[in-house]
Amino acid sequence: MTVRIVVDRDKCQGYGQCVFEADDLFGLDESDTCVAAAEVGEDRRADAERAADVCPMQAITVE
């Protein structure tokens, strides 16, 4: 089973807290906007949810 990571690029302000939390799942593009792995295994759900929780703009959802 996989989980889906969705980033609202309109909300993202490029603080990078998600990258600090899970740098193998999240990164910043050339405009300092978050990019994320689209889908990850269920075993990575907790990592993705922690990264979503630390986002100051609450721009990340994990489904």
pLDDT band of 56, cuts 50, 70, 90: very high
Q: In the 8-state DSSP scheme, what is residue 38?
A: S
Task: Give the whole-angstrom CA distance, residue 16 versus residue 35.
Answer: 10
Q: 10-29 pLDDT, tens per residue?
A: 999 999 999 999 999 999 99
The domain in which residue 40 lies consists of: 2-62
CB 18 within 8 A of CB 29: no
pLDDT at 22: 96
Q: 34-48 pLDDT, tens per residue?
A: 999 889 999 999 999
Total count of domains within the chain? 1
What is the pTM for the complete model shown?
Answer: 0.91
The enclosing domain of 47 has a CATH number of 3.30.70.20
